[in-house]
Amino acid sequence: MSRDTTSRQPTQPSSAANGAKSDDVARTKILLLGMRRSGKTSIQQVLFNNLSPRETLYLETTTQSTKHYFDTVIPLEIWDCPGDVTLETLDAPLAQFSTVIFVIDIQDLYQQPIQKLVDFVITAYNECPNLNLEVFVHKADVLTEEYKIENFRHIQARVLSDLSYAGAEYETIPINFQLTSIYDHSLHDAFSRVLHKLIDSLPYLEDLLNVFCTNSQANKAFLFDTASRLYVATDASPVDPPVHNLCSDYLQTLNAFGPLYKSVSASPLRMRTVPSDHSDSPPPSAPASPPPNPPAAVTSNPNSRFASPLASPSTAPLSAHQSPQVAQQPLPTPPMPHPPHFSSSITSSTVRPSNHDAQGNGNGNGHAPPSGGKPLFYPCAAASLAPTAAGAGTTLTYHLITPKLALLALIPTGVFQARRGLVEYNVVFFREGVQEICEVESDARKVTA
């Protein structure tokens, strides 16, 4: 991260590219504001630069506004500002930001930080009434559960009463308060909710997740950004924090083994020569059945494109052997250690080439197939959460959807065991839908010179 340690006056913001920086896309801008030491840089670094929370202890004070780039479903530009920045010294019009996140330390119950927040809200509202205003009441981990809630309510009540005291027109400004900490999952959950408001195609992603859940009998499904572990969309059922935390932990475990997947999948030679040992694999002579054409438009109803495990008996004979996703010669199952947070065992972990992408189609999120025509690979994995009785409990599944996004779903183990091929068949169509949405997003954001 680049910082100017000599100048204390913010001038032109500097850039630090975590994702690929490119000037040819219109980025959604998020501004991080707050008092000194409130935790702005830590939030940005933990979420988007994979910094471990403990390492934030060694972060230096920010002296100059710094832009960070991050590419997910939408390209983001996150501005980390010094604690003493004002809207006048920001050197950028507020109107160019989609969201401002004001970070306030949960122990800052004094007049100054709250007054700074209130002043900022009033100025921002006068300048840009439609600006999305978020307040992260941060470092929640330092207090016990009881004091945490008390301080959170106190800060919220003080801000709202000061605003109404400032004028009747400020009483109704929509401000979203969230409790956050870099030491638990609350920060990821809070930032995911901020992100949802910025993704225009969110309803389409949610539709795809709802259809996937219905047809695969999944209790819950998330579409996660794999690098930041923010969920960019989820199905219509409410988010239960323990379920979100479980999925996030599982993703973190799998991320830790990402390089293993890469080294295996990077070698097309190995893909052709290593014999299969996976029970779901088709016989070598199994014909590769290409999937149907991708949906004509993002808005098309995807319902008819999913096969339901609960559908009429005519759909039941569909199995993994018929799934277009598994028709290539399979790779061996890489060894997976027991994940630390699960009392369960990994039931499977495979690296499978997607037929669809082997043909060079449907690479979403603006990712062309790697040069040299190598296909992209989509690892999948599953962990049984209650392995005691056969078929009982829930299975947590992971399927990579695009190079940056993964589907995590909770499926009853009985369904997953009996209809796994069909679940994976549904994933193929889910992937096509998401990739198409990402392509539309990426096309819409291209800036032509």
Ligand X SMILES: Nc1nc2c(ncn2[C@@H]2O[C@H](COP(=O)(O)OP(=O)(O)OP(=O)(O)O)[C@@H](O)[C@H]2O)c(=O)[nH]1
Closest to ligand X by CB, 106 vs 428, is 106
Q: How far is the CB of 114 from ligand X (least distance, A)?
A: 16
Q: How far is the CB of 234 from ligand X (least distance, A)?
A: 24
- Give the integer Cα–Cα distance in Å for 9 and 65: 9
Query: Angle, nearest 10°, between helix axes 186-196 and 241-256?
Result: 100
Do residues 336 and 381 make contact, with C-beta atoms less than 8 angstroms apart?
yes
**SS3 of residue 18 by DSSP:** coil
Provide DSSP, 297-363: STTS--GGGSPPTTS-GGGTT--GGG-GGG-SPPPPPPP-PPPTT-SS-EEEEEEEE-HHHHTT---
Of positions 138, 244, 356, 399, contacts ligand X by CB under 6 A: 138
Q: How far is the CB of 57 from ligand X (least distance, A)?
A: 4
Q: How far is the CB of 92 from ligand X (least distance, A)?
A: 17
Site string for ligand X, 36-75 (x = CB under 6 A): xxxxxxx-------------xx-x-xx-------------
The candidate with the shortest Cα–Cα distance to 387, out of 345, 325, 417, is: 345
Footprint (CB under 6 A) of ligand X, residues 104-133:
none
- Give the integer Cα–Cα distance in Å for 61 and 67: 15
> By CB under 6 A, how many residues form the interface with ligand X?
22
Residue 181 engages ligand X in binding (rule: CB under 6 A)? yes
Residue 139 engages ligand X in binding (rule: CB under 6 A)? yes
Stretch that binds ligand X, among 32-40, 119-127, 315-323, 397-405 (CB under 6 A): 32-40
Q: How far is the CB of 59 from ligand X (least distance, A)?
A: 4
Q: How far is the CB of 170 from ligand X (least distance, A)?
A: 25
Residue 10 engages ligand X in binding (rule: CB under 6 A)? no
SS3 letters for 352-397? EECHHHHCCCCCCCCCCCCCCCCCCEEEEEEEECCCCCCCCCEEEE
Closest to ligand X by CB, 66 vs 365, is 66
DSSP assigned state of 58:
G
Two tokens, residue 271 = 């893909």
Stretch that binds ligand X, among 178-186, 301-309, 368-376, 378-386 (CB under 6 A): 178-186
Footprint (CB under 6 A) of ligand X, residues 78-97:
82-83
Residue 83 identity: G
Closest to ligand X by CB, 190 vs 233, is 190
What is the Rg, in whole angstroms, of the alpha carbon atoms belonging to the chain?
Answer: 24
Residue 147 engages ligand X in binding (rule: CB under 6 A)? no
Residue 152 engages ligand X in binding (rule: CB under 6 A)? no
Two tokens, residue 148 = 């945490």
Stretch that binds ligand X, among 120-128, 181-189, 338-346, 425-433 (CB under 6 A): 181-189
Closest to ligand X by CB, 59 vs 109, is 59
Question: How do strand 377-384 and strand 394-400 relate by DSSP bridges?
Answer: antiparallel
Closest to ligand X by CB, 62 vs 328, is 62
- Give the integer Cα–Cα distance in Å for 239 and 289: 37
Stretch that binds ligand X, among 121-129, 177-185, 301-309, 338-346 (CB under 6 A): 177-185
Q: Which residue ranges make up the site for ligand X (CB under 6 A)?
A: 34, 36-42, 56-57, 59, 61-62, 82-83, 138-139, 141-142, 181-183
